[in-house]
Structures are given as structure tokens and as C-alpha cells.
Amino acid sequence: MIELSDVSFSYPEATVLRGVDLHIAEGDSVAIIGPNGSGKSTLLRLLCGLAPKFSGRYRFDGEELNAARLADARSAKAFHRRMGLLFQDSDAQLFCGSVYDEIAFGPRQMGLCEAEVAGRVGDLLGLFGLERLESRVPYHLSGGEKRKVALASVLALNPDAICLDEPMGGLDPKTKHAMRKLIKSLNASGKTIVCATHDFEYVDGLFRRAVVLSQEGRVARDGPYPEVLADREFLMAMNIV
Amino acid sequence: METVPEWLLPEREPYAPRPDKGRYLEKNVLSILGTLAALREKPGAGRDRELLRPELALISTFLAVLLVSLSRGWFFLETASAFEFGCLCLLRGGIIARVLKKVLAAGVFTIAIFAPAFLIGRGGGVPALCCKVLLAVLAMAIFSAATPWHSITAAMASLRIPGTLVMILDMTIKYISLLGGLLLDMLCALKLRSVGRDDRKVSSLGGLAGTLFLKSKDAAETQFRAMECRCYSGNYIMKPRSSYGWREAALAAADIALLGAFAAFGIAR
Amino acid sequence: MHIPDNCLSPATCAVMAIAMVPAWTVSVQKVSKDLPKEKVPLLGIGAAFSFLLMMLNVPVPGGTTAHAVGGTLLAVLLGPSAACLAISTALLIQALVFGDGGILSFGANCFNMAFVLPCLGYFIYKFAKDRVKTKRGEYIGLAIASYLAINFAALCDAIEFGLQPLLARDAAGLPLFCPYPLAISIPAMLIPHLTLAGLAEAAFTVAIVAFVTRASPGAIYVGSPAKTKPLYALIVALVAASPLGLIAAGSAWGEWGPDEIKDVVNGGKALGFVPAGMEKGFHYAAPMQDYGLKGVPEIAGYIMSAILGVAVFIIVYKLLSFLRKGGKDDGVKAGA
């Protein structure tokens, strides 16, 4: 589904990703791990089309994805519908006047009738346990509630793949467990999951694969999650633990 | 484990986005990116680090803009051009390119605005006017491109501007960067979810800006509490800068020469 | 609406900067009184918010975009004094750090965008808000306030530009700075603001205030009820300034009388004749033709016309209010 071949990306002041090769099959679940500044968030943004000026090749579902394709509004929108991103800072993702409107934003854009929109919103409120917050303003919710609303608003588009940027960051243990169960359910239902994370304690058993980025932004290792995480020496050498 | 609703299972049919006019999100992203890039760029890095005392640079810039504005006749404008291009050529290639890009854009805009004056018979002064506008833009562009922003606020402090005002300026620039980063993320998040037609674009952008305002207010309160915790008493003390050197003397001499040229050629007689 | 350097004469720039000194002074005093502790961070962060707001492209009908200034918005959210200081700071940062906008014209830019725009917008909004009961009415008042305020600020811009050919000329009589007279600068500035920019400003302001009101109503500045005295002071000032039009020689474009039309030059040639429709058409001899009175100096005639016009308008408004309330008067309020 996702194929990166020799992809590099630079900001004006620094090169963040170098020669990244990454292949993710449909339905796979991959953890992206690395020290701070290794380019995890940048990689997720690139996968979601927010960093179009990269070098190398990116194929999504067999089709080339590049700056030209992302510059075409129709192609970009069709792609964004299939690839969702949960930002590290939930405040960046919430801008509507109520939780209902926040989750309904995407389906309304898609042109669904209000009954279908209400159906999707109702289902997601139930899935995340947010029913009592339906008319609340997202800005004033707690960190965990905001994270759930943000994820619900992304899922409302029914993406095929979801990139999660530190989904456990700032959450209490109970909410982390709930988030973990949710991610497992989504992957079990067929969604492709790509997740940048530091919270090894709470994501154990969630991912089939782990891709380790070095400080220089290269793929240092790509293998089965339990194997990679068991190699403490390697993780220490990478400044991850 | 929660049961995922049926519609959340992988779709088989392709999705055709509804057509929508306008690319305001892309324009906004580019605009904010440009601003953040301008703040992130460090003209003071390496050998260009504070070539000059910034307050002297600020005074020289203001003097150049003022004298150009007050001047009559072409000879002084040529002198001012020599002064400004002389300053420009001392900077790094990347900065020169940025400055010239700005001046070129200003030039095109200025000519477009003032050229129609010829049609109403008032075009006689337009060439000199365009030249003056470009020289003013060049002077300001050189100053802003070659002076790190923290030096600009330090320059204000050296010029005996009240510490509180300098702190406000410092804080403004820092929070342009911080809030700008948040705004950029919000615009990207909105773009990612704008997968069809948004019939309430202004409302969506209003929600973004409203959230930004609330974050600004919270940030202001938090900042104040942090200042209180560090015993803020109302004084904003900035570290004194290094002493004047030959570069400052050279610039001061050039300023005096420019004043002399203005007195000799720039005043209407 | 940003005025670059050298479009206004240094003298005009100096006058506008001096005119801003009392505005800044009063704003600082008011902010110190209203927000004694938090003012410093709020001003800095408010200025950053103002800066970012001015950068945003607001979508307008037709698929294009326009920039809003957000002056009325900031005045409503932070109060007019804090808004004045925040916008002034944002304009200073734009000029010094980003090289946008002028340094000599800083005073003029602040006058238009940091003083006129937020203060007028706030005052009109408060005037409306204190008199309507519904939220919808309040938002309509806000839209009108921000629309009128940005257009009035654009008008100030236009007047500053348009006076330059009269104020600064070289020995040959050519304008030294902006070459366009009022007859061109006013429509040139107002047309885009009456259409795209004004709509963007109004829509954006209402959208943001509506969001903040819903999300966090306590975050909005609460000022004292609007006094009407400043409004009357403004009307008096406008009446006194009404003879300004006399500076321009001749009639405004399109307002020529039969006695002037044949001398109007178009494409380098004078018209040379009076169109039959104008010569033989309907003529109404108004009591104060051309805002003047026989035997009275022009300036006095203009001021008299302005006083009469304002008085007639107030009388009509009060009569309509009286009739709308079923023939009942309100108690006379001080200053009303």
C-alpha cells in the first residue's frame, strides 16, 4: 500500500530524512521509533502528503504520489480521504464549536446527507465513549478527551490508513489503555496503522513491525516489533532507551 | 475490544471529491511558512553574526530612508543608491538574493500602481517617486535581512526605549513563531480534513483563528505566571553589547558623507 | 492598506505620527488601568495574534481571497486600547523585522489601522450591542461595525494619499509623492474595500467572535456601556471638516452641472458642448444649491449645510423611533 524508495526530505535549516526505504502492506501495523529529532513526525507528515517537496519516490496504492499530484486539488482530496493523520498536539486539530460538529466536519465535506452524518457521528461518539460530550466545545475538554475527539474526527472520513503521531502523549494510564484497545480494534478491522511512539510500555503487542530511525534520519532497522524491542543494546546505541 | 461500526470497514468504492473553488488553505500555508522561515533563518550565524551594532544599523537605515524621502533631484538618489548597494554587497549571497527578490516584487508593484499617473498627465514625478520607493524598500530589506530579530530588539533597548516596550516586542516575535507554528499545524489539519466541498469556509477559518486567540490568551496568562515565579518586577534588563569597532566607524563615516551629499545636492533650491 | 514609504510626504508622515502620540498615550494609560498585571504578556502575544491575523487569506465569494485587518475584532476581544497597542506593535514588527510597510509612514499606518479602525469599529459595535436584545442582532451590528470601520480607515488612507498632490509639489508643479488626487485615490481605495476586503473583514470578524463567544465567553473584553458623547464629538468633527472638499478645484467626477460639463476634459479633449438632456432637462433650484448660501462665504455655507443635514437626519430618526414605540418616549438619559 505504502512504498517509499530512497526518500529524503530537508527543511531549510537541516536535512531530516535521508534515503528512507519503507514498504507497508495494507492492514499492517508499524511502529516508527527513534530519538527526538530523528524525523518521526516529519515521516508521518510526508506519508500524509504534507511535505510534498521530497526527493525519491512515494507510491500509494500503486500510484505515484508527488508534488504535482498533490498540487491538483481533486487528487489531493481523494488521497487525504484515504490517509488520516492524528497530530501530536490535539489542539491543532480541533476548530469547531462542538464535538458533534468536529466529528461531522469531514462527512459533511464528503457530501453525505445529514442522516448519514448523524449516523457516523453517533457511532463514533459511542465507540470513543464521548456521548455526554456531544455538545461541548472541544477547546475546553481534557487532554485525553481532545485526543479521542481528534481521532474520531479523522476516522469519520473512513480512511484506509491512519498515521498516529505520539497518540499516548500526555494521557493518563486509563486513557492510554483505552487508546490501545481502540488502535487494536481499528487494525483488526483492516485499517493500516503507522504510529510514531515512545510509549513502549503501552504499545507492546500492538504492532507487528518496528522501523527504527537514527538521529540522522536514516532507517537503522526494520523488523518484527518484539525482536527490535528486545535488542536493548541496539536501542541504547540509537539513544532510544 | 470495541466493535468497529460497519461503515468503518475498508471501503471498496473509490471516492470522488466534490469540486470546490479556491485554494485559500494552500495560500495560507505558504504565507505562514514564509513568515516562519524568515524568522528561523539566522543571518547572524557564522561570520555574519552581528556585523554591526544593530542600533547603528537602525539609525543608518532610518537616516537613509528619511534623506531619500526629503531629497530633490537625481544626483542624491544616485548617491543613496551607491550607499545602499555598497552595504548590500557586503552581505552573503543568500541574503542578497532575498533582498533583491523583495525589491523586485516591490518594483513591479510600484510601477503597476503609479504608471497610470501618466494617463492623467501627472506622470512627470513618477520615475523619481518609483526610485525613492525602491530605495526605501531596499534599505529596510537590507536591515531586516541582515539583522537577527533579537538584535533589533536589543537595538531598541540601546536607544533608551523603555524596557517594557522592548519586552513586548521580544515577546511578539517569539510568539509569532510559536503561534505561527500552531497556526500552520491547524491549517494543515484543516487541509487534511477538507476532502470535498466546504460550504462554510469562513466559519472554518474563523474557528481556527478563534482557537488561536484562545490559545494566545492562555499563553499570555501562563507567561505572566512564569514571569511572576521568576520575580518579574517590571524591569527588562538586556545584556550590554560589545563596544564599537572599525565597522561602526566606517558606517558612521558613510552616514556623515550621505548627510553631506544631501546638504550639497539633495535639497531643493 | 499598508502605506509604503515615499507615498506620503515626510511632513504628512510626521503629522500622522504626532497625531498618534495622544492615542498611544491614552491607550497605555487605559491598558495599565484595566489590565494592571497581565498587560505585558497579553500585549505581546496579542500583537503576535494580530500579526498572524493580517497574514491570513480569507475566502470571499468568487473563489478568490482577501486580507482582513481584524482591527474591530481585536477591539472587541481585547478592548480598543489594547487593540491599538497590539496592532501598532504588529505594524512595527512588520516594518523592522520583515521589511513590510514603511518606517516613515509607520505613524500613518498606525493612525489608520491601529486607531481609526479598531476605535470606530468598537464604538459602532458597542452602540449597536447596547441597543439590541438578540445575539443575531449583535452579530449583525458587529458585521456592520467592522465593515464600516475598515471602509472608513480606507477612506483615511485615500485622503492621506489624495492630499499629496496638493501638499507637496516640485518647482514645475509636479507631485513629489503620490500623484493621484482625491478624485482618484478615494474610489481606488474604497472600491476594493467596499467589496472584497470589507466583506472579508465583516465575515471573518463575526465568525471568530461567534466562535469565541460560544467557546469561551469570558475571554471577550467587557468594556463600559458605550457613551454617545464620543459619537456626537465625531459628528461635530465631521461637520467641521466638511469644507475639505473645497480643496479640490472643480466638481467631483460625474457631478458636473450644465455650466461645467462642456469644459470637462476626457482623452485630452474638452467636451465642448452641453448635452441636450442636461440643457433642457429637469432643473431643481435647491434652497442651498451646492451647499452654499447667497452672500455667505463657501466654507460657512458648507458647515451650515452639514449642520442642517445632520439635524434633519437626527430628527427623522427620533421621529421614527417615537412612532415605532407606539408614541411613547424613553426617559431622557444624560448624554443621549
- pLDDT single digits (tens) B207-238: 999 999 999 888 888 888 888 888 776 666 66
Which of C170, A196, C15, A144 has the alpha carbon at shortest distance from B125?
Answer: C170
Pairing of strands A55-60, A2-11: antiparallel
**Interchain CB contact of B125 with C (< 8 Å):** yes
By the 10 Å C-beta count (0-12 exposed, 13-18 middle, 19+ buried), B194 is classed as: buried
pLDDT (tens digit per residue) in A18-58: 999 999 999 999 999 998 888 999 999 999 999 888 999 99
Per-residue confidence at C24, pLDDT binned at 50, 70, 90?
very high
Instruction: For B20-73, write each residue's pLDDT tens digit.
Output: 876 888 888 888 888 887 777 655 444 345 567 888 888 999 999 999 999 888
Which pLDDT score, from 0 to 100, does residue A32 have? 94
B120 C-beta neighbours (distance < 10 Å), count = 13
The per-residue pLDDT for range C294-305, each reduced to its tens digit, is 666 666 666 666
Q: Taking a C-beta distance cutoff of 8 angstroms, is the pair A107, A120 a contact?
A: yes
C-alpha cell at C329: 418616549
**Residue C269, burial from CB neighbour count under 10 angstroms (0-12, 13-18, 19+):** exposed
pLDDT of C68-126, one tens digit each?
899 999 999 989 999 999 999 999 988 888 877 789 999 999 999 999 999 999 999 99
Q: Which chains touch B (3 or more CB pairs under 8 A)?
A: A, C
Which of C66, C202, C228, C229 is closest to C147 using CA atoms? Answer: C202
pLDDT the model gives residue C332: 43
Q: Report the distance separating Cα C75 and Cα A140, nearest Å.
A: 24
Which residue on chain A is closest to B15 by alpha carbon? Answer: A78
Residues within 8 A of C (CB atoms), A 174-193 only:
none
Beta-carbon contacts of residue B157 (< 8 Å; ≥ 6 apart): B163, B166, B236, B238
Give the amino acid at C115: F
Phi, psi of C66 (to 5 degrees): -140, 160
pLDDT of residue B46: 41
Q: How far apart are CA C264 and CA C270, in angstroms?
A: 5
Q: What is the pLDDT of residues A102-152, one digit of tens each?
A: 999 999 999 899 999 999 999 999 999 999 999 999 999 999 999 999 999
First to last CA, chain C: 35
The three cell numbers locating residue B200: 462554510
Within 8 A by CB and 6+ apart from B254, the residues are B60, B83, B86
DSSP annotation string for C71-91:
HHHHHHHH-HHHHHHHHHHHH
> Cα-flanking dihedrals φ and ψ of residue A231, to 5°?
-85, 80
pLDDT for B268 equals 62
B61 CB within 8 Å of a chain C CB: yes
The three three-digit cell numbers of residue C50, written as one number? 494580530
What's residue C280's pLDDT?
65
ipTM of the complex: 0.90
Report the DSSP beta bridge partners of residue A24. A2
CB-count exposure of residue A19 (10 Å: 0-12, 13-18, 19+): middle
Q: Tell me, what's the pLDDT at B138?
A: 92
Backbone angles phi, psi at C330, to 5 degrees: -80, 160
Say what the pLDDT of residue A141 is: 93
- pLDDT at residue C173, rounded to an integer: 78
Q: How confident is the model at residue C287 (pLDDT cuts 50, 70, 90)?
A: low
Kindly list the residues from chain C whose CB atom is less than 8 angstroms away from the CB atom of residue B22.
Answer: 59, 63-65
Whether residues B120 and C51 touch (CB distance < 8 A) is answered with no
- The dihedral through the CA atoms of B44, B48, B54, B59 has a sign that is negative
Which grid coordinates are listed for C240?
467641521
DSSP string over C214-260: HH-GGGS---PPPPSHHHHHHHHHHHHTGGGGGGS-SPPTT---HHH
Q: What is the pLDDT of residue C140?
A: 94
Residues of B in contact with A97 (CB under 8 A): 207
**Residue B180: closest CA among B66, B4, B29:** B29
- From chain C, the residues in CB contact with B221 under 8 A are 38, 41
pLDDT of C231 > 70? The answer is no
Beta pairing class for A83-86 and A161-165: parallel
CA dihedral C27, C29, C32, C33 (to 10 degrees): -110
Cβ of A77 within 8 Å of Cβ of B8? The answer is no
Structure-model confidence comparison of residues C155 and B245, the more confident one: C155
Which residues neighbour A171 within 8 Å (Cβ) at sequence distance 6 or greater?
A143, A144, A147, A179
Say whether pLDDT at C333 is over 60. no
pLDDT of the residue at A80: 93
For residue A181, is pLDDT > 50? yes
Q: Which of A28-37, C207-216, C281-290 has the lowest mean pLDDT?
A: C281-290
> What is the residue-averaged pLDDT of chain C?
80
Instruction: Report yes or no: A36 at the B interface, CB cutoff 8 Å.
Output: no
Which residues in chain C are contacts of B220 at CB distance < 8 A? 38, 41-42, 44-46
Between A181-190, B83-92, C168-177, the lowest mean confidence (pLDDT) is in C168-177
Element (H, E) at C131: none
